[in-house]
Amino acid sequence: MCIFCDLVKSADSSSVLVNDDAYVCVRDINPVSPIHLLFIPKKHIGSLNECSDEETVGKIMCDMKKIAKKMNIDSYRVVVNTGKDAGQTVEHLHFHLLGGRTFDWPPG
Ligand code: 5GP
Ligand code: ZN
């Protein structure tokens, strides 16, 4: 069982900002910035390490700027935590779009 596969299955218009053929975009349940969105491929892919779906990854990356523009932010951070040491907690590939505040570099 995978919580993001369940989320994709039960995605409805009240919680989903974008329902694309290949992915959904939702607000993170525990936001770490004023804007914190998750882009989740509909297909189960464990992490970037298991990913060869260039089309879906390309679509997500290119659509992120459109969503950022809709949210009125032109400065934002895209994060793909991959593996436990990098902070991945859900083992279904997802892309964080973070914005609405300043971010430190390097990340903690
Ligand atoms: P990770 O730590 O794997 O990079 O990110 C997982 C993210 O998923 C976390 O930011 C967490 O708050 C979010 N998350 C976990 N469960 C749910 C959920 O059921 N719905 C939503 N919208 N976000 C979730
Ligand atoms: Zn899954």
Q: Is position 36 within any domain?
A: yes
Ion ligand 2 residue ranges (Cβ < 5 Å): 2, 4-5, 44, 92
Q: How far is the CA of 74 from the centre of ligand 2 (A)?
A: 30
Number of domains present in the structure of the chain: 1
* 104 within domain boundaries: no
**What CATH number has the domain bearing residue 91?**
3.30.428.10
Per-residue pLDDT tens digits for 3-44: 999 999 998 878 899 999 999 999 999 999 999 999 999 999
The residue segments making up the domain with residue 69 are 3-99
pTM of the model: 0.98
Ligand nearest to the CA of 4: 2
Read off the pLDDT band of 61 (50, 70, 90). very high
Kindly give the number of the ligand 1 atom that is closest to the alpha carbon of 6: 19
Evaluate whether residue 65 is within a structural domain: yes
Closest-lying ligand 1 atom to the alpha carbon of residue 91: 3
Q: What letter would DSSP give residue 89? A: -
105: three-class secondary structure by DSSP:
coil
